[in-house]
Chains A and B, each alone.
Chain A
Amino acid sequence: MINNELKKRLSKIRNIPTLPIVANNVIKLTQNPDSTAFEIAEAISQDQALSTRVLKTANSAYYGFPRKITTINYAIVVLGFNNIKNIALSTTIMDRFSKSDEDLLFDRKEFWKHSLLCGIISKKISERMGVKNSEEIFLCGLLHDFGKLILDSCFHDEFVLALQMSKEKNITIKKAENAIFKFNHSGVGAFVLKSWNLPQSLVKTVEFHHSPDDSLKAFRTASIVHVADYLCRKIGIGNSGDKIAPSLNKKAITLTNLTSRDIKQIIPGIITEFKSSTGFLFEGDDA
């Protein structure tokens, strides 16, 4: 997936998006077991916008803590290091790639809706399966189509071509990307996330979310995200560039142990949770 063509193309580009330093430092700090809440709070405080977003997210219905969280420090001890790392990373990326594109073929707002829903469903599935660290899986779900953002920013014209091809020929965006770029968004996403030194599990999950059984290491998380991605398209909230759902991987659905009856049962709750817990993320855009 991360093939030579991709490496060649990306190496020629000077403006590959980089992870903002503050978010990068937060992630690095959370990777050190000895880092204290104070150190992380200090790192986040370096970026006023990030601080505001972290507090807003920490107080959101998604986390639902019964008391008001007024300081970054308190957000860290209450929500824990993992959640804070995820909040910092996801809000940074969402801010970095939030500009609404005039090209209606790739609506960033719809893209993030799809991504958030995918994250929420991934977390739900992993909780049902009794997997620990469901917060990590949320991040995997959220960033599974991250590559599309890179393609859209770095190879905008070709990416638009791919979107058009997908629409005209009624093929998946992945196929269209492969035809035009000789690589696709899953490889690009994994490549960039890897270059940001993000955890291997996240990188592999993004890379294999279309074909979970190609990876031994990320089979579990990639399967969950794969199924969640599929369900997002069935539910019809958000849009990640194409309307065609890729075929569902049988091994992945077997692993998640979900029957169609289970799915019917959990979906209404997920939609409600999505609407109540993520509305705040889009407030500014609607205004």
Chain B
Amino acid sequence: MKTKPLETDPQFLRRTIISLTDQIDLFETFQDLSLKIISQFDLENLLRTFCTIIKEIMNYQSANLYLFDEDGSKFHQVFNCGSTSNDKQHRLPEHKIIHWVMDQGRWTILTDFQDKNADAIISILPIKTTKTTEGFMVITTDFNPSFYNRKLGSILNFIASQTAIAIENQNLYAKINDSNVYMASMLESISNGIVATNIKGEVTQINRNASAILGITLKDFIGKPYSYCLKGNLKKEMDKILSKILEKGYAVESMVNHAPYSEVDITLGITASLLTDKNKETIGVIFSFRDMSASKEIERLTRLDEMKSEFLSNVSHELRTPLSVIKSYVEAIQFKVDPQDHLTRNEFLQVVNSETDRLTDLVEDLLDISRIEADRFEMSMSNFSLEQIIEPVLKNIGKNREKQQIMIDIPFDLPECTGDRDKLTQVFINLLDNAIRFSPFGGIILIKAWTENKMVFISVADKGIGFEMQYSDKIFEKFFRIDNSDTYEISGTGLGLSIVKHIVQAHNGSIQVKSNPGEGSIFTVSLPLKPKE
């Protein structure tokens, strides 16, 4: 038989033209179908659509879809696209064959048409683009070799490559979604309040902590300028920070008091940094807000704790000193002093007496402070003149002073005061006691009184060691003592001035201090005069 050239066969040529036209029509149809695949953003729907199209093209007995893992080495079945025969018959071709087909990148039939035992045709359709390999489909179809032509291959490869692109898009989309969720959960789990704005100050991102700290609702805020939701000094502070950071270009820190809800007043720490895009162009600002109240409270409690421990050691020292003096003098009287030596016994008993007084004062102070703490500081009011107070004070103090000289400058015509006489006496005892104690080298202590604006002023001035004015508020806090142990050894509990201030304030008065290290201090108490009847 002599072979004839096909191009001289008009019938063949006509057939070719018709099939080429058919193929073009078919591709137009599948172009539309592939749009359907590409527009899917859900993997499950996407693969289902793919299976439906393949079913339409091939009318397979069964088809199974496999996807490769991310690193491309292993694959797993994700989809059984339906089968008409028993599913158990599905057999995965050898791995090396699968990998060979994946390398070739085109639909490949694995069944030899001339194999007498073959009752079905198995083929593999790779789902890959030129760059990525997504998976493949193992298709089992009826044994009908004449069905397999070049057109079928072109169409299957076309649909599969479109599907691969769609899967890749879907993966990218899922990745973007994941990273968005990740970023959002990161943003939410930051314990600070975070607000991001563009350079116009319009909010682009905000976390729940920010809405809690700032006292605003999330949905109000996004897309609007922050000034829309923030008021008062917080808004002013934000304006300041924003203009400063945009001008200077580096992170800015600030602190502001803010009341997010009525009766809640917190101190906000604000840190602002610039946000830039990939070209390092400024695209916005990120503000981080933290509630400083807690850290301030911790700071206060820590200080209080330190002061209490110091107080305990001071108090035990203050208690022990007179006790040991009393004990040794009593022992001396008991065993060493001649019972007939009345002079020495008397002298020693006086010492015991004064040390007992000191102890009593100290215990009194302690009781006072605990009464103040417990809010049970009661006063018994009466009218009296200032001399009535100063006199016993001087009497009480007189015996303690050695080098110091006390001068009094009190006018005789001072009007009467109203108050708790004993407690006011205690005020001046404490003040004068301090003046003496903190003037270890002596000097004049001046007590002065005058009236002004319906108030009487009494000042106690010494020429003692004085202190830095930065402590002028703190010295009135309980337990507080200026640490000058390296220069002077002066005992005390740190309670006196705290009690003084409390008593003065309970009388609607006030106390001020002026001091200079090495030059002395002036404490000035002001008390309201008794209203004229």
Contact = CB atoms under 8 A, between A and B. Distances in A.
B3 A130 contact: no
Interface string B126-151: 00001100000000000001111111
A64 B100 contact: yes
A61 interface: no
B357 to A, nearest CB: 98
Nearest to A20: B3
> Taking each of A30, A46, A47, A74, which has the highest tally of chain B beta carbons within 10 Å of its own beta carbon?
A74
B22 A80 contact: no
B159 to A, nearest CB: 15
Contact of A32 (B3, B112, B150): B150
Given A71-B112, A77-B113, A132-B130, A34 B7 contact: no
Interface stretch (B83-91, B103-111, B319-327, B501-509): B103-111
B114 A73 contact: yes
Interface stretch (B13-21, B297-305, B385-393, B458-466): B13-21
Nearest to A67: B97
A65 interface: yes
> Taking each of A29, A32, A37, A70, which has the highest tally of chain B beta carbons within 10 Å of its own beta carbon?
A32
B113 A34 contact: no
Nearest to A131: B130
A35 B150 CA distance: 7
A130 B149 contact: no
B150 A33 contact: yes
B23 interface: yes
A66 B20 contact: no
A25 B5 CA distance: 6
A66 B100 contact: yes
Nearest to B1: A46
A99 interface: no
Contacts of B3: 21-22, 25, 43, 46-47
Contact of A38 (B19, B109, B146): B146
Contacts of B111: 77
A43 B96 CA distance: 31
Contact of A28 (B12, B108, B149): B12
A81 interface: yes
A33 B151 contact: yes
B112 A73 contact: yes
Given A32-B150, A38-B145, A130 B130 contact: yes
Interface string A46-79: 1100000000000000001111001101100110
A78 B148 CA distance: 12
Interface in A12-48: 21-22, 24-25, 28-38, 43, 46-47
A66 B6 contact: no
Contact of A197 (B7, B100, B148): B7
A74 B150 contact: no
A246 B97 CA distance: 42
A81 B150 contact: yes
A25 B150 contact: no
B76 to A, nearest CB: 22
B132 to A, nearest CB: 10
Contact of A21 (B4, B114, B145): B4
Given A28-B6, A29-B6, A36 B149 contact: yes
A84 B427 CA distance: 115
A46 B307 CA distance: 110
A22 B148 CA distance: 22
A33 B97 contact: no
Interface string A76-105: 011011000000000000000000000000
Interface residues of B, number: 36
**A interface bracket (residues with beta carbon within 8 Å of B):** 20 to 34
Contacts of A24: 5-7
Given A81-B153, A132-B130, A32 B113 contact: no
Contact of B109 (A35, A70, A78): A78
B148 A37 contact: yes
B113 A74 contact: yes
A230 B288 CA distance: 62
B94 interface: yes
B468 to A, nearest CB: 72
B3 to A, nearest CB: 5
Nearest to A47: B3
A251 B151 CA distance: 35
Nearest to B109: A77
B23 A33 contact: yes
Nearest to B13: A28
A197 B96 CA distance: 38
Given A22-B3, A25-B3, A28-B7, A34 B151 contact: yes
Interface in A163-207: 197
Given A33-B19, A33-B22, A38-B145, A25 B100 contact: no
B15 A21 contact: no
A255 B250 CA distance: 45
B154 interface: yes
B16 A31 contact: yes
B5 A66 contact: no
Interface in B362-408: none
Contacts of B146: 36, 38
Contact of A80 (B15, B100, B153): B153
A74 B153 CA distance: 15
B466 to A, nearest CB: 80
A31 B12 CA distance: 11
Given A21-B3, A28-B6, A66-B97, A33 B149 contact: yes
B378 to A, nearest CB: 94
Contacts of A22: 3
B122 to A, nearest CB: 11
A131 B131 CA distance: 10
Given A24-B7, A73-B113, A78-B108, A32 B97 contact: no
Interface of A: 21-22, 24-25, 28-38, 43, 46-47, 64-67, 70-71, 73-74, 77-78, 80-81, 130-132, 197
Given A32-B12, A32-B15, 9 more contacts: A24-B6, A32-B20, A33-B149, A34-B149, A66-B94, A66-B97, A70-B112, A78-B110, A132-B130
23 contacts: A21-B5, A22-B3, A29-B6, A33-B20, A33-B22, A33-B151, A35-B150, A37-B149, A38-B146, A46-B3, A65-B100, A66-B96, A66-B97, A71-B112, A73-B112, A77-B112, A78-B110, A80-B104, A80-B106, A81-B150, A130-B130, A130-B131, A197-B7
